């Protein structure tokens, strides 16, 4: 008996129209993601990675094909798919707690009491180690802390799929490393399904169960997929000399380098 995929991207194409001109960004995207799987999507700039994530989020309509989550078609935004963007998008006049409360009240109003919602907000802030900053405003906390709040807000919606669009791209190396560790901890604890867009090879190998490599645009598609058979929990210091880690890293770098050389020769 064949098990149906949790999330299925089925022969998806995305075309944009500017006047009479059509531009195909994504072509024949076919991808299945299992429940609880962490998948990273990597590729050169302009290959349509973020467009693909926006299609899964329901922020853009597909031109052809379909996206199915638990056999239900995705055609609009919904709380079953939460997005964490590179820009934290916190409202500056609200406290950390109030920013998370916006999402919680939107999703759970009428389903949970005020006290239950307050407890749930505290739980998710604690999950990302931000409980101590609950009453601060965004201007009073660091960039890394803002991203932690963004992750807490997304998790508080209890999404079936958490979508991460280069969430650490604007952070310094040390903050980025701490947040990567936090995401691994959350994934281990909750077992939720995650799809992350990244351009960082080491990040993709460290976090992912599988890495999906995109060809260059226009009309980008999936070039290769790579499973990352590293046991969890993963510790970055120990992985630095791990042969499986190094082999996975080499395979992704080789794919990206070959694609870049192809573009230069065109």
Per-residue tens of pLDDT for the chain, all 266 residues: 456 789 999 999 999 988 888 899 999 999 999 999 999 999 888 888 999 999 999 999 999 999 999 999 999 999 999 999 887 789 999 999 999 999 999 999 888 999 999 999 999 999 999 999 999 999 999 999 999 999 999 999 999 999 999 988 878 888 889 999 999 999 999 999 999 999 899 999 999 999 999 998 889 999 999 999 999 999 989 998 999 999 999 999 999 887 655 444 43
The pLDDT of residue 35: 95
Q: Is residue 205 part of a domain?
A: no
CA–CA distance, 264 with 266 (Å, rounded to integer) = 6
The pLDDT value given to residue 256: 87
In a domain, 244, yes or no: no
Number of domains in the chain: 1
Say how far apart CA 58 and CA 56 lie, in whole Å: 5
Alpha-carbon distances, residue 68 vs 30, 75, 76 (angstroms): 12, 9, 12
3-state secondary structure (DSSP) of residue 83:
strand
How buried is residue 76: exposed, middle or buried, by Cβ count under 10 Å (0-12/13-18/19+)?
Answer: exposed
**Is residue 106 one of the residues assigned to a domain?**
yes
In the chain, alpha helices (H)? 49-57, 96-108, 114-127, 143-155, 173-190, 201-207, 236-239, 243-265
Do 223 and 213 touch, CB atoms closer than 8 A? yes
Q: Confirm whether 135 is domain-assigned.
A: yes
26 bridge partner residues: 14, 220
* Domain span holding position 136: 93-158
Q: Would you say residue 176 lies in a domain? A: no
Pick from 209, 109, 71: nearest CA to 120 = 109
Classify residue 124: in a domain, yes or no: yes
The reported pTM is 0.91
- Give CA angle at 48 (246, 56), nearest 5°: 95
* Contact call for residues 128 and 190 (beta carbons, < 8 A): no
- Position 17 scores a pLDDT of 86
Would 133 be classed as within a structural domain? yes
**Residue 86 falls within a domain, yes or no?**
no
Distance (Å, whole) CA 21 – CA 217: 16
């Amino acid at each position: 008996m064949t098990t149906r995929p949790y999330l299925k991207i089925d022969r998806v194409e995305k075309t944009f129209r500017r006047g009479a001109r059509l531009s195909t960004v994504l072509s024949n995207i076919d991808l299945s993601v299992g429940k609880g799987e962490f998948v990273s999507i990597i590729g050169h700039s302009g290959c349509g990675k973020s467009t693909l994530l926006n299609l899964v989020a329901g922020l853009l309509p597909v031109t052809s094909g379909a996206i199915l989550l638990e056999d239900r078609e995705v055609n609009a935004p919904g709380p079953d798919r939460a997005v964490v963007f590179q820009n934290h998008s916190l409202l500056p006049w609200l406290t950390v707690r109030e920013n998370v409360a916006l999402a919680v009240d939107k999703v759970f109003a009428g389903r949970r009491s005020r006290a239950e919602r307050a407890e749930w907000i505290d739980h998710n802030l604690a999950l990302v180690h931000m409980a101590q900053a609950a009453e601060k405003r965004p201007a009073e906390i660091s960039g890394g802390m803002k991203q932690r709040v963004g992750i807490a807000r997304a998790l508080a919606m209890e999404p079936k799929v958490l979508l991460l669009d280069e969430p650490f791209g604007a952070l310094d190396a040390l903050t980025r490393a701490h947040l990567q560790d936090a995401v691994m901890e959350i994934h281990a604890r909750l077992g939720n399904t995650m799809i992350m867009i990244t351009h960082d090879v080491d990040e993709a190998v460290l976090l992912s169960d599988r890495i999906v490599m995109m060809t260059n645009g226009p009309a980008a598609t999936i070039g290769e997929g790579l499973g990352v058979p590293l046991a969890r929990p993963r510790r970055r210091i120990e992985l630095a000399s791990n042969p499986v880690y190094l082999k996975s890293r080499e395979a992704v770098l080789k794919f990206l380098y070959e694609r870049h050389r192809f573009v230069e020769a065109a």
